[in-house]
Amino acid sequence: MQDKLHDVQINEVKVFDDWVKKFFLNPETSLLDQQLFTIDIYESNDEYMVEAILENHAAKDIKILLRDNEISILVDQPHKPFPKLFHKDKAVIPAAQRKISFPFSICSRRITAEFTQPLLVIRIHKYTPGRATEDIRIE
């Protein structure tokens, strides 16, 4: 059983490495970095990290959403009038949004976020399970 789990973890690391290369080689990534805000992705022994540089923002301007294998970072930018999105007759923060679609599901893992102006760091723990949620609280 332990060997099977180890094989799955090794395979995930390889899939992640391949995916990161493609993510950063995608011209759309560079364009969104320039137009909206810069994102960087790292890996350590026990977590994946997504960093976003959000200058001139406060934690209250940022919302992080999670859905299966995707993290969305939404940033309200009052100085840039973006049209509002509507969901069930309620206005939703539309502003600037970046989506990061991982090559595997991350929704059952422990995910934490912290914001120290101007850096938002989202940590996806590789081996620690978390509760299923769609909204990640920023510390």
Is residue 88 classed exposed, middle or buried when 0-12, 13-18 and 19+ CB atoms within 10 A define those classes?
exposed
Domains of the chain in start order, with CATH, are: 2-136 (2.60.40.790)
* Type and span of the H or E element at 79: none
Task: Please give the model's pTM, rounded to 2 decimal places.
Answer: 0.80
Cα-based angle 77, 93, 40 (whole degrees, multiple of 5): 65
The tens digit of pLDDT for each residue in 30-78 reads 889 888 899 999 999 999 999 999 988 899 889 999 988 999 999 986 5
- DSSP conformation letters of 33-76: HHHT-EEEEEE-SSEEEEEEE-TT--GGGEEEEEETTEEEEEE-
The tens digit of pLDDT for each residue in 94-108 reads 568 999 999 999 988
